[in-house]
Amino acid sequence: MAKLAHIDSFIVDLPTIRPHILAMATMHAQSMVLLRLTDSDGIEGIGEGTTIGGLSYGEESPEGIKLAIDTYITPLLQGQDLSRVGAVMARIGKHVAGNHIAKCAVETALLDMQGKRLGVPVSELIGGGRRREAFPVAWTLASGDTARDIEEAEAMLEARRHAIFKLKIGKRSVKADVAHVAAIKRALGDRASVRVDVNQGWSEAQADRGMALLQDAGVDLVEQPIAKLNVAAMARLSAKHVIPLMADEALHGPLEAFDIAARAGARIYAVKIAQSGGLLPAHAVGMIADAAGIGLYGGTMLEGTVGTAASAHVFATFPDLEWGTELFGPLLLTDDIVTRPLIYADFQLQVPTAPGIGVAFDEDKLAAFRRDATKTQHGSAALQGA
């Protein structure tokens, strides 16, 4: 029986390579909650819980994620057999409501530990194993400056790193946003797929107009144009327009996935392990979408390498990944906190093949970027007699 011997949760703050402008916030750095579990056999598992823009994107903040892990989830891990990941997560789910990102960090660490224990990648522990070794990755153009975004996209195409581009819009008028997007699509032509993410920034009337104009501009999809709770309006927009609507913020696990599918609220799902509450619930979201004939896209909360690697393992198991992924989070950061970065080449991300999630912390980088002054004591607990 593999019991918890030690747990350490901490926040790291990594600057972004440029301002990342969304409808609800402008990011200059990413704050990630990282987790390290060690069991009674000496096996270590690592995880990550990351949100976007503090509390501007969702109900969880980096500080709240850490608090939930330290105060409420850690006691539930004590005395449990950590090799029984499903049972442990069910126990946590029974006693901790919501807090999907905190749960995702813990489940990632448990699955990383289990993969290492068995000597297999995490993708082999999910849904019958991986179906692909690599997949396309989109790059988000979020400077808000048309000429700069075109230049950035051209550089990505030249480097053969990305041929899918998503634009963050919703802060300006619909007319101004569409003009910005249309200019970029004209410049890139058929060399790249161009998509937009409104991050709930439009009313239904604005979305109705914007989706029609974006379709005429040659845009391939529109992500979460309206408020996440307004599934009825999402269904009306999906039924009316040829350009597909992709659900993102509206998805918070299998229950929402089923509800949106039943109400025909979206034709594509952006699956995120953090929003879903972990890798296993994210896989369930993907299976619901697949059964309902809804297209799949691998989403991101702009995680660092740990969360991105974990996401890659889940998306590698999906039966179909028609719309690619958005796992560019580590590339948006000025530095990394792992010993060996993920491999991006020929417009794709390669899924790690080492046991567990396939990445390991760089201890020197952690020491440099950890937020807490004590570096080793705050948020860390050694468990005796567990």
Q: Quote the pLDDT of residue 304.
A: 97
CA gyration radius for the chain? 20
Does residue 277 come out as left (phi exceeding 0), alpha (psi in the -120 to 50 range) or beta? left
Q: Quote the pLDDT of residue 23.
A: 66
- In the chain, where are the structural domains located? 4-119+361-372, 125-350
Q: Quote the pLDDT of residue 49.
A: 98
Can you give 138-200 as a three-state secondary structure string? CEEECCCCHHHHHHHHHHHHHCCCCCEEEEECCCCCHHHHHHHHHHHHHHHHHHCEEEEECCC
CA distance 347 to 330: 15
pLDDT at position 20 over 90: no
**Tens of pLDDT, residues 215-227:** 999 999 999 999 9
Q: Quote the pLDDT of residue 186.
A: 98
**Tens of pLDDT, residues 319-371:** 999 999 999 999 999 999 999 999 999 999 999 999 999 999 999 999 999 99
Q: Which residue has the tokens 């011997």?
A: 5
Q: Quote the pLDDT of residue 26.
A: 79
Domain made up of 125-350: CATH architecture: Alpha-Beta Barrel (3.20)
pLDDT at position 384 over 60: no
Its sign, for the CA torsion 188, 194, 199, 203, is positive
**Tens of pLDDT, residues 147-200:** 999 999 999 999 999 999 999 999 899 999 999 999 999 999 999 999 999 999
Q: Please identify every residue annotated as catalytic.
A: 168
Q: Quote the pLDDT of residue 342.
A: 98
pLDDT at position 378 over 80: no
Other CB atoms within 10 A of residue 125 CB: 19
Helix H or strand E encompassing 265? none
CA distance 102 to 34: 10
Same fold, 4-119+361-372 and 125-350: no
Alpha helices in 224-383, H assignment, sequence order: 231-240, 254-262, 273-276, 279-292, 305-315, 363-369
CA distance 3 to 10: 21
Q: What is the DSSP string of 80-121?
A: S-TT-HHHHHHHHHHH--S-HHHHHHHHHHHHHHHHHHHTSB
Q: What is the mean pLDDT of residues 364-385?
A: 63
**Tens of pLDDT, residues 48-81:** 999 988 887 889 999 999 999 999 999 999 999 9
Q: Quote the pLDDT of residue 245.
A: 98
- Closest C-alpha among 353, 338, 365 to residue 46: 338
CA distance 123 to 130: 5
Maximal C-alpha separation, the chain? 65
**Tens of pLDDT, residues 248-262:** 999 999 999 999 999
CA distance 132 to 143: 32
> Which residues on neighbouring strands pair with residue 382, listed in sequence order?
6
268 against 55, higher pLDDT: 268
Q: Are 170 and 359 in contact (CB under 8 A)?
A: no
Q: Quote the pLDDT of residue 285.
A: 98
Q: Are 284 and 254 in contact (CB under 8 A)?
A: yes
CA distance 226 to 230: 7
| The domain defined by 4-119+361-372 carries CATH number 3.40.50.2300 | no
Give the list of residues 6+ apart from residue 335 with CB closer than 8 angstroms, or none. 14, 15, 365, 369
In what side-by-side order are the strands of the sheet with 348-350?
Answer: 134-136, 348-350, 344-345
From residue 217, give the alpha-carbon distance in Å to each of 152, 180, 244, 248, 292: 20, 11, 14, 22, 29
Q: Determine the length of the chain.
A: 386
CA distance 331 to 303: 10
pTM: 0.94
Confidence of residue 115 (pLDDT cuts 50, 70, 90): very high
Q: Quote the pLDDT of residue 381.
A: 43
Burial class (CB in 10 A: 0-12, 13-18, 19+), 380: middle
pLDDT at position 382 over 50: no
Confidence of residue 142 (pLDDT cuts 50, 70, 90): confident
Mean pLDDT score across all residues of the chain: 94
